[in-house]
Amino acid sequence: MEMIILLCVIAYILGSIPSGLWIGKIFYKKDIRDFGSGNLGATNSFRVLGVKPGIVVTVMDILKGTIATLLPFFFQLDVSHHFWLLTGVFAIIGHSFPIFARFKGGKAVATSAGVILAYAPWLFVAALLIFVISLKFSKFVSLSSMIAATSALIISIFSFDWILVGIIAAIAAFIIYRHIPNIKRIKKGEEPKITWM
C-alpha cells in the first residue's frame, strides 16, 4: 500500500511538470500564461510559441501521462493492471493542478492521451485519428479535443473493461468541463482557429 501511495505521489509530480511554461521561459523568454488563453497546455503553446515548440510541449505532456501510468510496471509492482490507470489519473491531476505552477495548469488533453497510450494503445490510435480528422475540418483544437474524448469513451465500451470505461468517462467529463469557456467562445464565434492545417 505504501508503494502505491508513493507511486501516486511521483505520478502527480511528473504530471505537475509545466512543459509549456518551462519551454517558453527557457527558450523563448516568454511566460505563456501572459499570452493567448493564458493556459499552460499544449494548445496555448502552439498559439504563443509556434508549431515546433508546440509539438515538443505536446509530446512532453503525453509522455508525462505515459510514464506515470507505467510506474507500477517500471517498479515491478505486483498489482492489478488497473492500478496503472490510478497512477495515470494522478498525472492528469498534476497536469491540471501543478504544484510547480501555483496549481493552475492545462486542460489535461495530451496527458490524458498519454495515459490511454500506456494502458490501451489501440484506443489512443483511434482517438488520435478522430482528433486529427475533426481538427482538419473544424480547425478548432478545443472542439476536436472534446470530440476525441467523447469518442474514446464510446469506443472503450467495446473493450468490456469497465474500469477503463469508468476512468475514460471521468476523463471525458473533466475535459469537457475544462473546455466550458471554449464552448462559450465557439457559440459566440470568438474561438480562434488554427491556421497551420
Domain count for the chain: 1
pLDDT in the model for residue 40: 85
Chain segment 139-195, per-residue pLDDT in tens: 999 999 999 999 999 999 999 999 999 999 999 999 999 999 999 999 999 998 988
pLDDT in the model for residue 38: 80
Residue 197 has pLDDT above 80, yes or no: no
The structure's pTM equals 0.94
The H-or-E segment that residue 47 falls in is: helix 42-49
Residue 196 has pLDDT above 80, yes or no: no
Q: What is the mean pLDDT of residues 47-67?
A: 95
User: Is position 194 within any domain?
Assistant: no
User: Is position 196 within any domain?
Assistant: no
User: Is position 62 within any domain?
Assistant: yes
Residue 133 has pLDDT above 90, yes or no: yes
User: HSE on the CB side for 193, CA within 13 Å?
Assistant: 10
Cell of 19: 512543459
pLDDT in the model for residue 108: 92
pLDDT in the model for residue 79: 83
Chain segment 85-130, per-residue pLDDT in tens: 999 999 999 999 999 998 999 999 999 999 999 999 999 999 999 9
pLDDT in the model for residue 81: 87
Give the range of the structural domain holding residue 100, as residue numbers without chain letter. 1-188
Give the whole-number percent of the chain exceeding pLDDT 90. 85
Burial zone of 184 (CB within 10 Å; 0-12 exposed, 13-18 middle, 19+ buried): exposed
Q: Count the Cβ atoms, other than its own, within 10 Å of residue 147.
A: 18
Q: By three-state DSSP, how is residue 72 classified?
A: helix
User: Is position 120 within any domain?
Assistant: yes
User: Is position 7 within any domain?
Assistant: yes
User: Is position 197 within any domain?
Assistant: no
User: Is position 195 within any domain?
Assistant: no
Burial zone of 183 (CB within 10 Å; 0-12 exposed, 13-18 middle, 19+ buried): middle
Rounded CA separation 152/175 (Å): 12
User: Is position 78 within any domain?
Assistant: yes
Location of C-alpha cell 499544449: 42
Q: Of the candidates 174, 157, 176, which has an alpha carbon nearest to the alpha carbon of residue 165? A: 157
Chain segment 31-45, per-residue pLDDT in tens: 999 987 788 888 889
